[in-house]
């Protein structure tokens, strides 16, 4: 599963 | 959030505080690369576009605002502050950082997770952050002597990257789906750039001597 927005890291 | 991620965020925060302390206490920015600081400001401004669209947590929002504000404040101090700007090592801070911006942008247009405005700028900020330390490392190498606070600033920045890699390893094993390969690969490149600096930092620490980088 790709990590599109939202990103949870800074 | 795991302990590695938190430790990474905290060392990142400490590095910024150390830099602000150095500038505030000594009224000097000698040994600090304005190019690197400008790149970081650009990194945060382009990565945190999601402040307007997505909410993750109060923690994330506050940290994002702190990173944007502190990076802009540092750039402002080095360019505009009457006293601080005089100590800027302009003659040796000559790294052509525009090329890093251009290369990161081209790479982001070519390699991204999704062809959207936010995703391309997110990828751009990740690539640019990986390279942003280069002008700083080149400046330290050229000046040879590294004062205590500058050395600690770069050390904490490197520690932040190292903790983030541990965080990804942890997440890889604890989360079902983890595919943040753009961030991971760039993060590994970024951390590798610090290897040389870390080597000399630990030698000076072990010998209890002043940090010196070979020319």
Domain locations along chain B? 3-203
**Contact between chains at B56 and A6 (C-beta distance less than 8 A):** yes
Interatomic CA distance for residues B200 and B192, integer angstroms: 14
Q: What digits encode the pLDDT tens for the residues B144-195?
A: 878 999 999 999 999 999 999 999 999 888 887 666 789 999 999 999 999 9
Q: What digits encode the pLDDT tens for the residues B78-90?
A: 999 999 999 999 9
Looking at chain B, the whole-number percentage of residues with pLDDT higher than 70 is: 99
Mean local confidence (pLDDT), B35-54: 96
3-class DSSP state for residue B51? helix
Supply the pLDDT for residue B150. 94
Supply the pLDDT for residue B73. 97
The yes-or-no verdict on residue B96 having pLDDT over 80 is yes
Supply the pLDDT for residue B140. 93
Supply the pLDDT for residue B1. 87
Which DSSP category does B115 fall into?
A: S
Which residues of chain A from 1 to 10 reach within 8 Å of chain B, CB to CB? Answer: 1-10
| Measured distance between the N- and C-terminal CA atoms of chain A, rounded to whole angstroms | 20
Average pLDDT over chain B reads 94
User: Which chain B residues are Cβ-neighbours of A9 within 8 angstroms?
Assistant: 5, 164, 167, 180, 183
- Host H or E run for residue B136: helix B134-143
Q: What digits encode the pLDDT tens for the residues B105-138?
A: 999 999 998 899 999 999 999 999 999 999 999 9
Q: What digits encode the pLDDT tens for the residues A1-10?
A: 455 566 889 9
The yes-or-no verdict on residue B67 having pLDDT over 70 is yes
Name the minimum distance, in Å, from the CA of B188 to any CA of chain A. 16
Contact B110, B124 (CB under 8 A): no
**Contact between chains at B113 and A3 (C-beta distance less than 8 A):** yes
**Contact between chains at A8 and B114 (C-beta distance less than 8 A):** no
Contact B15, B156 (CB under 8 A): yes
């Amino acid at each position: 599963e790709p990590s599109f927005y939202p990103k949870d890291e800074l | 959030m795991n302990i590695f991620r938190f430790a990474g965020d905290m060392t990142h925060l400490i590095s910024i505080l150390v830099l602000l302390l150095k500038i505030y206490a000594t009224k000097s920015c000698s040994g600090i690369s304005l190019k690197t600081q400008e790149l970081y400001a650009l990194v945060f401004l382009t990565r945190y576009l999601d402040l307007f669209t997505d909410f993750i947590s109060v923690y994330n929002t506050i940290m994002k605002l702190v990173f944007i504000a502190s990076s802009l404040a540092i750039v402002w101090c080095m360019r505009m502050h009457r006293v601080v700007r005089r100590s800027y090592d302009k003659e040796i801070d000559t790294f052509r950082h525009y090329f890093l911006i251009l290369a990161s942008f081209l790479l982001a247009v070519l390699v991204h997770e999704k062809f959207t405005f936010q995703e391309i700028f997110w990828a751009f900020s990740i690539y640019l952050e990986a390279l942003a330390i280069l002008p700083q490392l080149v400046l330290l190498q050229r000046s040879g002597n590294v004062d205590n606070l500058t050395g600690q600033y770069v050390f904490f920045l490197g520690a932040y990257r190292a903790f983030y890699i541990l965080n990804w390893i942890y997440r890889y094993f604890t989360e079902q789906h983890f595919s943040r390969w753009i961030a991971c690969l760039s993060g590994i490149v970024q951390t590798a750039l610090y290897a040389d600096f870390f080597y000399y930092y630990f030698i000076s620490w072990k010998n209890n001597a002043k940090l010196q980088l070979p020319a």
